[in-house]
Structure formats: C-alpha cells, structure tokens
Amino acid sequence: MITVAEAHALLAGLVAPLEMEQVPLAEAHGRVLARDISAGRDQPPFAASSMDGYAIKAAEAELHAMFRVIGESAAGHRFSGALGAGQAVRIFTGAPVPEGADFVVIQENVSAKGDLITITDGPGAKSNIRPAGVDFRKGMTLAAPRLLRPADIALLAAMNHDRVPVTRRPKVALIATGDELVMPGERPGDDQIIASNTFGLQAMLAEAGAQPRLLPVARDSHASLATAFDLAQGAVLVITVGGASVGDHDLVGEVAAGLGMERAFYKVAMRPGKPLMAGRLAGAAMVGLPGNPVSAMVCGYLFILPMIRAMLGMGADLPALKQARLNAALERNGPREHYLRARVEEDRVTAFDNQDSSLLTVLSEANALLVRPADDGPRAAGEMVNYLPL
C-alpha cells in the first residue's frame, strides 16, 4: 500500500492541463480562464457623474450661488458644448461630464426656477464625478488561471470581450459496476440495490468544471466490462466504481489489464478508500474507486477533484485542511489515515459515531472530514485537529 500523499502525486502525474478553446461570453461562467486577457478600453471611458444634479465649476460651488442652465447631459447623450462661468448643465447619473465642469451639485441641494438654479444647501467637498478610467485602464489584465465568477463575467463584458479563452472541460466517463445494481427509478430485485455512487460523483465533477458522462452499469463479466470501457472512448478520465477489490467478482483490474492498462498503483493506506486503483488505459487516465458509497465519495474529494483541477490548469494541490477543536475524545487511530465524517459548527468539530463506509445518510449530514494521521494517538476533547471542509 502507498500513502495518501503518494497516491495523490501519482494521480497528478496521470493528467495534464487541457488545451484552450474560445467560448461566447454568455457561456463562460464557471469556466477557467486559460490565458491572461486585457481590457480594450478605459472604464468609464469618460468622466461621468455619480449623481443626478447639475454640472458646474468647482470654484463656483458655494451656498446661495446662482447658475443659468444651458443644456442637459444624460447617459448615452452628452452635452456637446463647453461650460462657462456662472453656467450649469443638468446631468444624470452615468452621463459624461461636460467640458469645463469639474463638480456636480446634487439636485437635492438645489432649487430651480425656469433656467435658473440656486444652491440652497451646502454642496460639500465631494465632486460626485467618477474620473475616466477609475475602474480600470485600457490594457489592465485579468490573470489566468481563474475560475470565472459572475463578477468576472461582468468585468470581461466591460472590458469589451464577447468571447473568452477558457480551458476545455475534462470529459469524464463514469462506470458503475456490479450485478447488484439497478438505476434509480427502476424496480430492484430482491438481491439488488440502487446505483448511487456515480450520481454523486457526477454532481461533484460537474460542479468542479468537468463534463461527466454516466455510462450503463457494467455487469460482473469480462464482456460487459469490456463493452463499458469501449463506450468510454473519448474521455480523458475513466472512473469505475466497484469491482476493484480482491473478491472473485471484482474484475475491473483484470479486464483493464487485458485491455492494456498501465497500472500506477493499487491500494492506499487510508480508510475509507483502501482498494483504490489507478493507471492509464488507451490514452486516458483511469481510476478504479471502491464500491462503498462513502469510500467512493471520499476518494472523489481527495483524488478526483485535484485531477480535474490539474486538467483545468488550476494545479493539483490537495484540499487545504482547516482546524477546529474536538467536541468529544477520540481513541487511538490505526495504521491507515482515517477520514471521519464529521460536523463542524463554529470552531468545534464532532465526528459521527457510526463511520461505516456504506452510510450515505451520515455523509449527507457531514460538512467535514476529520483527518486522523496513521497511528495518531488518543485525542482529548478540546484538542485541535485537522479537517477537510465538504
């Protein structure tokens, strides 16, 4: 068996950043920016009013001062003339500031009669003008790699980009294995259960920016597994769930080897998740996950997500651990790293009593994995321990 860190390093070596593609701006949310992108213009491209009011000269902005209104400047429709002494231009938020003006007195501080206005309340020192380029200047760069959030999409639009260079989404094939499995919505036989692992992994991978594809359940036969691997062609990562252990019906490794898989490792000193297998098959990375639901999902968090991030150009670092105080004492850990389903509330962490790797209800209630190093000694309540947020 190898350690979690060794498995992580070997898995990272099975993948590489994918190529770039251009997508419409409206489809770029949630994608990873593949190269630096620069602004094509200043924002705003002109000095603009930040309030509704009247544009005047700052030197004339005094209480009781009077001005003659000579025009109007609205968003998209600037006043084309120049402002002279004792003159004002009616201006609205976002409108270009007229030539000669450097102050906007807000409309609440003004009384108007015909084309004359009088400042009736102290105008204050704030100019109420947004300088040209106050947000960003032409040439300002948004650095890659970067997971594009809604605010980034708005920024790219303001930078005048209608298409965005992003990293291609990794295509991932998900294969559930086992005679005991039926798909959700089907009627299971007396000895069958519902396939759940691949659906959880599909959601996890889609959220991470991949393109997961669920393949039909592969039965416990060489022919069915070989067909499933054939259907996975075109994927850069093939994930099997179940069938990777050492039982008489665990055929994944045997079939994959027969198809030419180059194995990187088999078995990791961790729980849950010990029977983890990985390698390369037909030009794609392949990972065989354990069949227990919690084992599959924990391995997904620890190993598959970093592989997806690596292919997206975001690096393959292990998830960052956080710390909290134990709510209750823990007994000595065994020789494998242990990832206990736990609940973190404020600065306290509580491990669930039942850590059976088949219990999806416990995983659903958990918001963290409490990490126990191999051979970690007993831990008292109140001690600081590491956890992985879920």
Residue 12 Rama label (left phi>0; alpha psi -120 to 50; beta): alpha
Q: In angstroms, rounded to a whole number, what is the distance separating the alpha carbons of residues 206 and 218?
A: 22
pLDDT value at residue 320: 85
* Cα 105 from Cα 126, distance rounded (Å): 9
User: pTM for the whole thing?
Assistant: 0.87
pLDDT at 287: 97
Q: Are strands 129-130 and 146-147 parallel, antiparallel or unpaired?
A: unpaired
Residue 203's pLDDT is what? 97
Predicted pLDDT at 251: 86
State how far the Cα of 229 lies from the Cα of 48, in Å rounded to an integer: 60
SS3 359: coil
* Residues of the chain predicted below pLDDT 70: 244-250
Tokens of 318: 């292990």
- The pLDDT of residue 243 is 73
How confident is the model at residue 319, as a pLDDT? 76
Q: What is the pLDDT of residue 370?
A: 97
User: Which residue has 């498995």 as its token pair?
Assistant: 7
